[in-house]
Amino acid sequence: MEGLNNSANNDESDKTSMKNGEATSATDSTTASVPVSHEPCTKPDYLEHSNVRYNAANTLLLDDDNDAVMMEWERPLMNAHASILTHNGTKGKRVMNIGFGLGIIDTALQSYEPSLHVIIEAHPTVYEKMISDGWDKKPNVRICFGKWQDELPKLIAEGLEFDGIFYDTYGEHFTDLEDFHEGMAKVLHKPDGIYSFFNGLAPDNLFFHGVACNCVKIQLSHLGLDSEFAQCEIQVDEKDWDGVRRKYWHGRNTYYLPIVTWKKDSA
Ligand SMILES: C[S@@+](CC[C@H](N)C(=O)[O-])C[C@H]1O[C@@H](n2cnc3c(N)ncnc32)[C@H](O)[C@@H]1O
């Protein structure tokens, strides 16, 4: 997914600002002089984009601006998240994923034969793709079509609980992530539920990335949760960005995968 927006995203030392220094947005006259790489990642109107589309190979999901909603190079990361969320690939877990995208993490989660697999997805085009690919007929899958902001409260009201929860949306703000955490903590099984999210916080600057990770850690700590960040080595090739207007990963080879669990004393 595109990096969650926060104030750290506009750092001048961003590598891509050198590479894309001349590039400007063609979508909004008010940002016409802003380099593409310095535009905010938040897109409050994304869910109204009418030209959200998959490429023929199903390896790329683009929005109306040709920005990438999801890309194939994230597959190893999604596989790692899925393994951790199912407690190292244990079968029969109850899992919930927010944001279907290319369905990479949901495919990985299915391979662990969950006893309940809830997917919340809000974009109509993505939802149509889920239906045409038969996700509504997969074992123990329940699709909640709508924004997590509307769907999660219904699951809380039902009294559902999950062993593993993943959040990876698009165009949302850091404050949305914080809001999600408030609800997530109500459905994460105690004592051994595991929560994680795509860690695209301040992706263009390692210092600010560290700051953002610590902000999340503090918020989750107030909810009774401990956060660790497991290092995963990744490689993203230059050619992976073909056809994508703006990069959302900036050459860093280490991904810090969040592993969030209940504190021992709050469980
Ligand atoms: C980055 S993609 C998810 C990729 C996914 N992790 C995968 O493995 O392919 C983000 C998804 O979140 C969806 N989305 C964006 N905002 C949402 C919201 N508020 N509630 C639910 N889904 C949302 C988008 O339509 C998109 O399908």
Q: What atom of ligand 1 comes closest to residue 126's alpha carbon?
A: 27
Is 18 a member of any domain? yes
Pocket test for ligand 1, best of 58, 168, 248 (most atoms within 8 A of CB): 168
Residue 225 confidence (pLDDT) above 80: yes
123 Cβ inside 6 Å of ligand 1: yes
Q: Report how far apart, in Å, the C-alpha atoms of 63 and of each of 135, 209, 244 are.
A: 22, 25, 10
Give the Å distance between the CA of 4 and the centre of ligand 1.
Answer: 12
Residue 25 confidence (pLDDT) above 50: no
Pocket test for ligand 1, best of 169, 180, 255 (most atoms within 8 A of CB): 169
Is 1 a member of any domain? no
Q: Where is pLDDT greater, at 265 or 249?
A: 249
Is 69 a member of any domain? yes
Is 31 a member of any domain? no
Q: How far apart are CA 124 and CA 17, in angstroms?
A: 33
At 39 the pLDDT is 79
Q: The tokens of 40 are what?
A: 């905010």
Q: Residue 106's domain spans which residues?
A: 7-23+40-266
- Kindly indicate the confidence band of residue 27, based on its pLDDT and cuts at 50, 70 and 90: very low
Q: What is the CATH number of the domain that holds 51?
A: 3.40.50.150
**What predicted TM-score, i.e. pTM, was given to this entire model?**
0.90
Q: The tokens of 252 are what?
A: 């860093």
Q: How far apart are CA 77 and CA 69, in angstroms?
A: 15
Residue 249 confidence (pLDDT) above 70: yes
Q: Where is pLDDT greater, at 85 or 34?
A: 85
**Can you tell me the mean pLDDT for 53-68?**
98
- Kindly indicate the confidence band of residue 35, based on its pLDDT and cuts at 50, 70 and 90: confident
pLDDT in tens, 167-181: 999 999 999 999 999
At 34 the pLDDT is 75
Q: How far apart are CA 56 and CA 200, in angstroms?
A: 26
The number of distinct structural domains making up the chain is 1
Q: Report how far apart, in Å, the C-alpha atoms of 52 and of each of 2, 102, 159 are.
A: 14, 12, 34
- Kindly indicate the confidence band of residue 36, based on its pLDDT and cuts at 50, 70 and 90: confident
Q: What atom of ligand 1 comes closest to residue 78's alpha carbon?
A: 8
Say what percent of the chain tops pLDDT 70.
87
Q: How far apart are CA 248 and CA 62, in angstroms?
A: 13
Taking Cα atoms as reference points, which of 137, 121, 263, 131 lies closest to residue 192? 263
In contact, 251 and 15? CB cutoff 8 Å: yes
Residue 19 confidence (pLDDT) above 80: no
Residue 85 confidence (pLDDT) above 90: yes
Is 29 a member of any domain? no
Is 94 a member of any domain? yes
Say what percent of the chain tops pLDDT 90.
82
**Can you tell me the mean pLDDT for 71-92?**
98
- Kindly indicate the confidence band of residue 121, based on its pLDDT and cuts at 50, 70 and 90: very high
Q: How far apart are CA 114 and CA 83, in angstroms?
A: 12
Is 82 a member of any domain? yes
Q: Report how far apart, in Å, the C-alpha atoms of 176 and of each of 70, 148, 181, 200 are.
A: 19, 10, 9, 14
Please give the mean pLDDT across all residues of the chain. Answer: 89
Is 261 a member of any domain? yes
